[in-house]
């Protein structure tokens, strides 16, 4: 008879792609998973994938997952109520949050042509939703004495190289990149403020395009990494000591290399050939892929003053 789960993870955007991969990998380690997305049934959304399929895969692999339908881009959504519903359903306080849901990236729309409604939708979905869900899980994490937040970021948060500026298939990625830059800064600031609560807050981005069906359609032929590397890196950030691994804007391959982390299949049963730490060439990991920012020791006097 399996032991009841000690940890509960909320994974947003879990109906497909990176979100589903992370949900599966967490569940393979005995973590209960609340899979959140707006797409419940196959065929409901613009892309393939659904919560029903994600939950069926996880539970078929021996995990414990449930589906929770929510359009996290709607300004009127009550995110604390969503968290409360999830915790009631599992009988657990959520101590892991993976913010993966994101608005349409709209690469095809240039900066000068971007309408206000696109801007507002991206800010609501990518930035405020992340902030709001983080706030909503804090009481449970504090009650449990620890917590882990992983916010999905992107290399596009960084500056475009130049001048001169060469043509790029994603253009300046101005709107999407701006929201991810905000996520990175929210992550590092929140990590500092929540350090005494033993709550880790980290951002995670892929080094390359992740080989999902949606990504392949967006930029065909680009160098990619498998879903498993992102899922393994996310699991690492959801399980390491919050006192030591927090406040990072981390990249998947560099993180795996740094920790010597074996990359396992999403069901956790086997190693992924060609993507183990020794397979990753350091020359392929550029310095700007690795922004390591371990939380420094906090002087006791400063810590006491902050709590006063």
Q: Catalytic site residues?
A: 176
Output the 3-class SS for 34-94: EEEECCCCCCCCCCCCCHHHHHHHHHHCCCCEEEEECCCCCCCCCHHHHHHHHHHHHCCCC
Distance, CA of 302 to CA of 113 (rounded, Å): 47
> Under 8 Å CB-to-CB from 148, ≥6 apart: which residues?
95, 96, 97, 199, 200, 202, 237, 238, 239, 242
Under 8 Å CB-to-CB from 151, ≥6 apart: which residues?
99, 130, 183, 186, 187, 201, 202, 203, 204
Distance of CA 107 to the CA centre of its chain: 21
Angle between helices 174-193 and 129-144 (to 10 degrees): 20
Alpha carbon 15 to its chain centroid, in Å, reads 14
Using a 10 angstrom Cβ sphere, with 0-12 exposed, 13-18 middle and 19 or more buried, the burial of residue 167 is exposed
């Amino acid at each position: 008879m399996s032991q009841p789960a000690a940890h509960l993870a909320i994974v947003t955007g879990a109906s497909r792609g990176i979100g589903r991969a992370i949900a599966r990998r967490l569940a393979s380690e005995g973590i209960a998973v609340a899979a959140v997305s707006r797409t419940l049934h196959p065929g409901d959304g613009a892309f393939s994938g659904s919560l029903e399929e994600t939950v069926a895969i996880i539970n078929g692999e021996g995990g414990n997952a449930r589906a929770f339908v929510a359009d996290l881009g709607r300004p009127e959504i009550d995110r604390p109520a969503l968290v409360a519903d999830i915790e009631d359903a599992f009988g657990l306080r959520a101590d892991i949050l993976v913010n993966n849901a994101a608005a349409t990236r709209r690469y095809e729309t240039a900066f000068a042509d971007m309408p206000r409604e696109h801007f507002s939708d991206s800010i609501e979905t990518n930035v405020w939703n992340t902030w709001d869900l983080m706030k909503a899980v804090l009481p449970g994490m504090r009650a449990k004495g620890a917590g882990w937040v992983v916010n999905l970021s992107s290399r596009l948060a960084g500056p475009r190289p130049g001048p001169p500026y060469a043509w790029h298939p994603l253009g300046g990625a101005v709107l999407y990149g701006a929201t991810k830059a905000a996520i990175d800064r929210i992550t590092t600031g929140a990590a500092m403020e929540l350090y005494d609560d033993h709550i880790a807050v980290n951002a995670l981005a892929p080094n390359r395009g992740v080989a999902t069906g949606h990504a392949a359609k967006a930029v065909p032929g680009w160098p990619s990494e498998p879903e498993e590397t992102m899922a393994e890196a996310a699991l690492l950030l959801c399980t390491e000591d919050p006192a030591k691994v927090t406040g990072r804007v981390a990249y998947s391959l560099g993180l795996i290399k740094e920790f010597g982390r074996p990359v396992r299949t999403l069901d956790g049963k086997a190693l992924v050939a060609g993507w183990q730490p020794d397979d990753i060439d350091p020359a392929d990991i550029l310095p700007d892929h690795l922004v390591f920012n371990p939380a420094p020791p906090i002087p006791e006097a400063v810590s006491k003053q902050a709590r006063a």
